[in-house]
Amino acid sequence: KTGRFTYDPGFTSTAACFSDITFIDGDKGELLYRGYPIDQLAKQSHFLEVCYLLLYGELPTAQQLEDFENRVTSHTMLHEQMVNFYRGFRRDAHPMAVVCGVVGAMSAFYHDSTDINDAWQREVATVRLIAKVPTICAWAYKYAIGQPFVYPRNDLDYASNFLHMCFAVPCEDYVVDPILSRAMDRIFTLHADHEQNASTSTVRLAGSSHANPFACIAAGVACLWGPAHGGANQACLEMLREIGTPDRIPEFIARAKDKNDPFRLMGFGHRVYKNFDPRAKVMKESADEVLGLLGVEDNPALQVAKELEKIALEDEYFISKKLYPNVDFYSGIILDAMGFPTSMFTPIFALARTVGWIAQWKEMIEDPVQKIGRPRQLYTGATARDYVEVEGR
């Protein structure tokens, strides 16, 4: 439609939608948010500025950024009654079950004030989701470990606020380590959007019926949870720990190649990337930097991950299938070093992806020719036949 991107008519006949937000070239391993390369944004920008870019299409001026940050900061608290939802969950519930439930419950608190045909109310819902999902995720963690909820603070930046809500306790001061805050912010940026992945497509399809945005984002959370999608970051670190030492890698490589074995190398492969996932490159650099700064560079999982990557990238099967590390391969190692349990990895992915989901939802809702999604099928069932009474069966 514009610039160097042209549409092949054949492509549009199979495309789910047109979008201006995120571009992926799977063969080149290229990822652009509104035209800006992901590695530049991850290293030079910060998450709320990236949120502004994804939502409104341009990098903000200093004043625009300050206004946006103030709007997000002033909406980080939940309605106090929402605390009651947490009490209804079992303590050992997976945090994603809690996040999915509480995000959906936002419909009961904010939906009836959200006329999605009103641009300002769409804005309010957008800011509320970006602002409140970190609080929802942090409180899911606190509830799981039996600690009191820590309220958001307006004097902290977005990433520091999330870390403070997760790791502070009322009985002593907690100062967020800037190393962790920078790493957390970079992880948020790397996960912010990724064109029409499964969970984003879920949000678009739910939104196409004009369901309220909170219910649509809850649908995205549910889809992301799967180990083939956002759940892979948790599954990947658990796999690296199961491998344990580099000498056991060949055993797992063999299993990944065995078609009779359902085992897949978690954090490897991608439906679109047939080259390195550019996010994995930045994540790997960040893992080296963060673990080095924290003095845990000899972390066994990182050593196994690096050796596994090296072996897999030299293996004929992986080369032939064009399988490379994806965004989930190194992220869990960083999150583990920051102190998170593996069960919190996917909620953190959902927290970061909320801006991508809501940006794609807005783009769809604001498209004047938008219609309800209605995928078709290739029917392979029985041809028409008459009913048979039970005596005749």
Catalytic residues: 270, 328
Q: Which is nearer to ligand SDX, 138 or 265 (CB)?
A: 265
SS3 string, the chain, reads CECCECCCHHHHHHCCCCCCCEEEECCCCEEEECCEEHHHHHHHCCHHHHHHHHHHCCCCCHHHHHHHHHHHHCCCCCCHHHHHHHHCCCCCCCHHHHHHHHHHHHHHHHHHHCCCCCHHHHHHHHHHHHHHHHHHHHHHHHHHCCCCCCCCCCCCCHHHHHHHHHHCECCECCCCCHHHHHHHHHHHHHCCCCCCCHHHHHHHHHHCCCCCHHHHHHHHHHHHCCCCCCCHHHHHHHHHHHHCCHHHHHHHHHHHHCCCCCCCCCCECCCCCCCCCHHHHHHHHHHHHHHHHCCCCCCHHHHHHHHHHHHHHCCHHHHHCCCCECCHHHHHHHHHHCCCCHHHHHHHHHHHHHHHHHHHHHHHHCCCCCCCCCCCCCCCCCCCCCCCCHHHC
Residue 337 beta carbon to ligand SDX: minimum distance, rounded to whole angstroms:
20
Q: Which stretch binds ligand SDX (CB under 6 A): 53-61, 319-327, 338-346, 359-367?
A: 319-327
Residue 151 beta carbon to ligand SDX: minimum distance, rounded to whole angstroms:
31
Q: Is 268 in the site for ligand SDX (CB under 6 A)?
A: yes
Q: Is 323 in the site for ligand SDX (CB under 6 A)?
A: yes
Task: Name which position in 281, 321, 343, 373 contacts ligand SDX (CB under 6 A).
Answer: 321
Residue 37 beta carbon to ligand SDX: minimum distance, rounded to whole angstroms:
16
Q: Which is nearer to ligand SDX, 152 or 220 (CB)?
A: 220
Q: Is 98 in the site for ligand SDX (CB under 6 A)?
A: no
Task: Name which position in 269, 278, 332, 347 contacts ligand SDX (CB under 6 A).
Answer: 269
Q: Which stretch binds ligand SDX (CB under 6 A): 25-33, 154-162, 228-236, 376-384?
A: 228-236
Q: Is 255 in the site for ligand SDX (CB under 6 A)?
A: no
Q: Which is nearer to ligand SDX, 157 or 328 (CB)?
A: 328
Q: Is 194 in the site for ligand SDX (CB under 6 A)?
A: yes
Residue 279 beta carbon to ligand SDX: minimum distance, rounded to whole angstroms:
7
Residues 128, 117: Cα–Cα separation, whole Å: 17
Q: Is 306 in the site for ligand SDX (CB under 6 A)?
A: no
Q: Is 270 in the site for ligand SDX (CB under 6 A)?
A: yes
Residue 146 beta carbon to ligand SDX: minimum distance, rounded to whole angstroms:
31
Task: Name which position in 71, 75, 111, 229 contacts ligand SDX (CB under 6 A).
Answer: 229
Residue 306 beta carbon to ligand SDX: minimum distance, rounded to whole angstroms:
17
- Which stretches of the chain bind ligand SDX, using CB under 6 A? 194, 197, 228-229, 232, 256, 264-272, 321, 323, 326-328
